[in-house]
């Protein structure tokens, strides 16, 4: 089942919080270029999975291989430098910085070390120009100089994606990018994700089934930390166990 | 940009006032003020260094006076051995040359900060406050028990330090301008640093350290570097202070001194570099002048500080800035 050429290979991932099993012998593989959606009811362990992939939470057991290397014991920053980028379910940005500063910071993280004490970073075209380009890409070009805290919720979510993109990742981990968004904002985000499809490899957690079935190449269904099914959208739609465990609950939010 | 210009005007005006002070004091026949303000400038340097970690780095250290004290002791001990013509630890000769003693004070203070930071920076929040306090207390009691250098009573040493064969620290005015030059230099270098890539990383860690790690910054080493640099600059201020007083004692690194530094930074406006200069000035002037009006001055001092902090959330300097820019301040 595991493809040898997969960019991300997770094997036997297990994580317990006291009595709760948040990841239960979880295995999945994401090949280069794929959009892989992870769905499952609230509390299924989706965010915990992403946190383990990103290096924020240590698994109790299991391995994470990325681009051929074992990442299981690497800290968060080191994984990010190898090309894993994460967006947070609960918006996590530099609220006191401008939108442009937020993205430029992410560019800077991947432009060598930052023990540079003299040159002014805010007038460094190596940081500012790519940051502006990425803001434009996510549709925030008009907001570059606004303080991030003053952006609308939807814009902050877009900024969250912009920061992840700015690290030029090999794999994007998106945790409910549309969480808390209005209809119009969601539509804009779907449009952005559609543009990223084919260009980026993405592991996305999303509740909106229309979006998932429209975007994903493959879907993994998580219930109580266990992957009960993985397959193409049509396979997942047809899977009886999935229908019963999850889809049957009808548009669970 | 308007805010930037106003800030520049403010900084230049303030520095110009400090530069003119000895002349004014001479004209007014009050040379006493020269020494008084030299002391203020020295504490301003220490407050600036604390602002690097407190205001920009978001690290609330309650042990900063330890590095100030270590710097002062380096100068004091070296001067003492130079005067006695003895060897430090039976190995090193003393020195009166500030081109040796001041950089050494900086280095030793920075190294101490590096070691203390290595442990402290693994904690955060209230634990960080407590652990920096604990380390500072250890340093404090170390010097209290250091009887070879006066222990609790401190150490007086001949204050005929000569700066590069040019400036005599006994010459009130010349020494004042030497301290002034150090302050201006520290202010400029710190401003450059804050605007550099390193400076942005430090501020990013204050804003959201988890996010910094998620985009790929190994934040610990940057925060440690910042803590070390701040300790070094505090050590330099301590070195100036030792030369200023010709006397060192553990009381300069008592934890309440660390508290005073925090008050100076917060009152003046943290995260602005110039704010702590204002804060140090106001704090030390109040400490000096209030006792002339009432013996119950601490009763007035506390509430005044409270009012300043409450009514000028970004400190005195923040209060002077145009309203629309306050929020956007870095
Ligand atoms: N840090 C934690 N400590 C204890 N329990 C946790 C922690 N994080 C998550 N959990 C629990 O693990 C389960 C999975 O949570 P989570 O991964 O956030 O689910 P999802 O993102 O799928 O909604 C939930 O029951 C949650 O309460
Ligand atoms: Mg979640």
pLDDT surpassing 50 at residue B326: no
CA distance B140 to A19: 47
pLDDT surpassing 50 at residue B251: yes
CA distance A44 to B85: 75
The neighbouring-strand residues paired with A204 are A37, A174
CA distance B330 to B55: 10
Total tally of structural domains belonging to chain A: 2
- Among all chains, which residue has been given the structure tokens 């010709």? B246
A13 and A79 belong to one structural domain: yes
Report the percent of chain B where pLDDT is more than 90.
Answer: 68
Positive/negative CA dihedral, A41, A42, A45, A46: positive
B126 min Cα distance to partner chain A (Å)? 22
As a residue count, chain A comes to: 253
Q: B70 C-alpha to center of ligand 1: Å? A: 48
Nearest to B192 among A54, A118, A164 (CB): A118
A199 and A244 belong to one structural domain: yes
User: Per mean pLDDT, which range of A6-20, B148-162, B188-202, B258-272 is the poorest?
Assistant: B148-162
Beta-sheet pairing, A84-87 with A35-39? unpaired
Size of interface A-B (CB pairs under 8 A): 101
Spatial CA neighbour of A131 closest among A160, A102, A94: A102
In which band, very low, low, confident or very high, does the pLDDT at A247 lie, cut at 50, 70 and 90? low
Burial class (CB in 10 A: 0-12, 13-18, 19+), B41: buried
Beta-sheet pairing, A218-223 with A35-39? parallel
Q: Do B196 and A110 touch (CB under 8 A)?
A: no
End-to-end CA distance of chain B: 13
Q: How many CB atoms lie within 10 A of CB B266?
A: 24
A1 and A118 belong to one structural domain: no
* pLDDT greater at residue A253 or residue A241: A241
CA distance B276 to B262: 9
CA distance A178 to A182: 9
Q: Which atom of ligand 1 is nearest to the CA of A50?
A: 17
* pLDDT greater at residue A26 or residue B309: A26
A76 and A112 belong to one structural domain: no
Q: Which of A150, A169, A188 is the last residue of a domain?
A: A169
For residue B3, which residues of chain A lie inside 8 Å, CB to CB?
A: none
Contacting residues for B92 by C-beta, under 8 A, at least 6 apart: B81
pLDDT surpassing 60 at residue A1: no
A148 and A194 belong to one structural domain: no
- Residues A98-107 as b or e (16 or more Cβ within 10 Å = b): bbbbbbbbbb
pLDDT surpassing 90 at residue A62: yes
pLDDT surpassing 90 at residue A125: yes
Q: For residue A136, give the H/E element and its range.
A: helix A125-137
Cα torsion through A60, A62, A68, A71, rounded to 10: 0
**What's the angle, vertex CA B152, arms to CA B150 and CA B153, rounded to 5?**
60
Exposure on the CB side of residue A186, measured as CA atoms within 13 A:
13
Distances (CA, A) of A64 to A30, A74, A224, B140, B289: 12, 10, 20, 48, 65
B55-98 pLDDT, tens digit each: 999 999 999 999 999 999 999 999 999 888 888 888 888 888 88
Average pLDDT of the residues of chain B = 89
Domain holding A61: CATH number? 3.40.50.300
Residue A158, helix vs strand vs coil: helix
Spatial CA neighbour of B30 closest among B22, B38, B39: B22
Q: Is A90 in the pocket of ligand 1 (CB under 6 A)?
A: no
A68 and A174 belong to one structural domain: yes
Given CB atoms, is A76 within the 8 Å cutoff of chain B?
yes
- Outline where chain B has alpha helix (H): 2-27, 32-51, 64-84, 98-120, 126-144, 172-195, 197-214, 219-245, 255-268, 274-293, 297-311, 315-320, 323-326
CA distance A137 to B156: 66
Chain B window 137-196: which residues touch A at a Cβ cutoff of 8 Å?
192-193, 195-196
Positive/negative CA dihedral, B194, B196, B202, B206: positive
pLDDT the model gives residue B328: 42
pLDDT surpassing 90 at residue A65: yes
* pLDDT greater at residue B17 or residue B308: B17
In which band, very low, low, confident or very high, does the pLDDT at B7 lie, cut at 50, 70 and 90? confident
A16 and A128 belong to one structural domain: no
Contacting residues for B177 by C-beta, under 8 A, at least 6 apart: B19, B22, B167
**What's the angle, vertex CA A240, arms to CA A234 and CA A242, rounded to 5?**
75
Q: For residue A244, give the H/E element and its range.
A: helix A240-245
Range of the domain at A74: 1-83+170-253
**pTM for this structure?**
0.92
Q: Which of A169, A187, A222 is the last residue of a domain?
A: A169
Q: Which of A153, A169, A185 is the last residue of a domain?
A: A169
Kindly state the tokens that stand for B18.
């400090």
Q: A105 C-alpha to center of ligand 1: Å? A: 29
B278-309 pLDDT, tens digit each: 999 999 998 888 888 877 777 888 887 778 77
User: Is B56:B199 a contact under the CB 8 Å cutoff?
Assistant: yes
Q: What is the phi/psi pair of residue A215, to 5°?
A: -95, -40
Spatial CA neighbour of B162 closest among B73, B249, B100: B100
- Residue whose Cα lies nearest atom 5 of ligand 1: it is A17
Indicate which of A96, A149, A175 best probes the interface with B, i.e. most B CBs within 10 Å of its own CB. Answer: A96
The mean pLDDT value for A27-40 works out to: 95
pLDDT the model gives residue B315: 78
Indicate which of A109, A111, A144 best probes the interface with B, i.e. most B CBs within 10 Å of its own CB. Answer: A109
pLDDT the model gives residue B126: 92
B179-225 pLDDT, tens digit each: 999 999 999 999 999 999 999 999 999 999 999 999 999 999 999 99
Spatial CA neighbour of B198 closest among A113, A216, A37, A15: A113
User: Is B67:B112 a contact under the CB 8 Å cutoff?
Assistant: yes
Spatial CA neighbour of A177 closest among A186, A167, A166, A165: A186
User: Is A161:A177 a contact under the CB 8 Å cutoff?
Assistant: yes
pLDDT surpassing 50 at residue B329: no
Nearest to A92 among B195, B210, B330 (CB): B210
User: Is B168:B162 a contact under the CB 8 Å cutoff?
Assistant: yes
A71 and A186 belong to one structural domain: yes
Q: For residue A37, give the H/E element and its range.
A: strand A35-39
CA distance B242 to B220: 32
Residue of A nearest to B192 (CA): A118
A74 and A188 belong to one structural domain: yes
User: Is B86:B44 a contact under the CB 8 Å cutoff?
Assistant: no
As a residue count, chain B comes to: 330
The neighbouring-strand residues paired with A171 are A84
Residue A180 — left, alpha, or beta (φ > 0 → left; ψ -120 to 50 → alpha)? Answer: left
pLDDT the model gives residue B165: 61
A76-114 pLDDT, tens digit each: 999 999 999 999 999 999 999 999 999 999 999 999 999
Q: Is A46 in the pocket of ligand 1 (CB under 6 A)?
A: yes
A164 and A192 belong to one structural domain: no
Residue B155, helix vs strand vs coil: strand
pLDDT the model gives residue A249: 52
Nearest to B214 among A86, A119, A147 (CB): A86
């Amino acid at each position: 089942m595991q493809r040898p050429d997969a960019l991300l290979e997770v094997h036997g991932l297990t994580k317990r919080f006291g009595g709760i099993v948040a990841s239960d012998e979880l295995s999945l593989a994401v090949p280069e270029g794929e959009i892989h959606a992870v769905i499952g009811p609230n509390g299924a362990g989706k965010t915990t999975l992403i946190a383990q992939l990103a290096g924020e939470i240590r698994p109790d057991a299991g391995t994470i291989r990325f681009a051929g290397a074992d990442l299981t014991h690497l800290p968060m920053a080191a994984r990010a430098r190898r090309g894993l980028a994460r967006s947070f379910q609960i918006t996590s940005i530099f609220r006191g910085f401008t939108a442009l500063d937020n993205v430029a910071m992410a560019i800077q993280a991947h432009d060598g070390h930052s023990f540079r004490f003299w040159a002014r970073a805010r007038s460094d075209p190596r940081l500012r120009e790519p940051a502006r380009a990425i803001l434009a890409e996510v549709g925030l070009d008009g907001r570059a100089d606004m303080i991030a805290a003053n952006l609308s919720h939807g814009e902050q979510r877009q900024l969250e994606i912009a920061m992840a993109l700015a690290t030029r990742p090999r794999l994007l981990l998106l945790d409910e990018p549309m969480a808390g968004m209005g209809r119009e904002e969601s539509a804009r985000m779907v449009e952005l994700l559609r543009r990223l499809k084919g260009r980026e490899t993405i592991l996305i957690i999303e509740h909106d089934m229309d979006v998932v079935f429209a975007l994903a190449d493959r879907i993994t269904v998580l219930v109580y930390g266990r992957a009960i099914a993985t397959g193409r959208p049509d396979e997942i739609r047809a899977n009886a166990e999935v229908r019963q465990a999850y889809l049957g609950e009808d548009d669970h939010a | 940009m308007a805010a930037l210009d106003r800030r520049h005007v403010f900084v230049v005006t303030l520095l110009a006032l400090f530069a003119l002070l000895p002349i004014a004091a001479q004209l007014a026949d009050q040379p006493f003020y020269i020494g008084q303000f030299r002391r203020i400038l020295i504490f301003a340097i220490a407050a600036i260094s604390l602002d690097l970690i407190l205001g920009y780095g978001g690290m609330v250290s309650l042990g900063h006076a330890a590095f100030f004290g270590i710097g002062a002791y380096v100068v004091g001990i070296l001067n003492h051995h130079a005067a006695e013509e003895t060897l430090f630890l039976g190995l090193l000769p003393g020195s009166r040359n500030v081109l040796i003693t001041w950089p050494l004070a900086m280095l030793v203070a920075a190294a101490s900060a590096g070691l203390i930071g290595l442990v402290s920076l693994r904690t955060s929040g209230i634990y960080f406050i407590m652990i920096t306090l604990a380390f500072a207390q250890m340093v404090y009691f170390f010097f209290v028990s250091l009887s070879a250098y006066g222990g609790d009573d401190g150490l007086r040493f001949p204050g005929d330090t000569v700066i590069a064969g040019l400036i005599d620290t006994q010459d009130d005015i010349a020494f004042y301008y030497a301290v002034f030059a150090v302050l201006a230099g520290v202010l400029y270098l710190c401003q450059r640093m804050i605007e550099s890539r390193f400076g942005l990383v430090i501020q990013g860690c204050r804003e959201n350290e988890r996010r910094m790690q998620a985009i790929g910054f190994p934040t610990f080493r940057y925060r440690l570097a910042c803590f070390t640099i701040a300790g070094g600059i505090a050590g330099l201020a301590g070195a100036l202070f030792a030369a200023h007083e010709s006397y060192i004692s553990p009381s300069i690194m008592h934890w309440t001194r660390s508290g005073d530094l925090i008050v100076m930074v917060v009152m003046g406006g943290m995260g602005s570099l110039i704010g702590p200069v204002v804060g140090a000035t106001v704090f030390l002037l109040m400490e000096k002048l209030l006792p002339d009006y009432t013996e119950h001055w601490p009763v007035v001092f506390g509430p005044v500080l409270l009012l300043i902090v409450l009514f000028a959330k970004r400190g005195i300097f923040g209060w002077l800035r145009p309203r629309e820019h306050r929020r956007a301040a870095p």
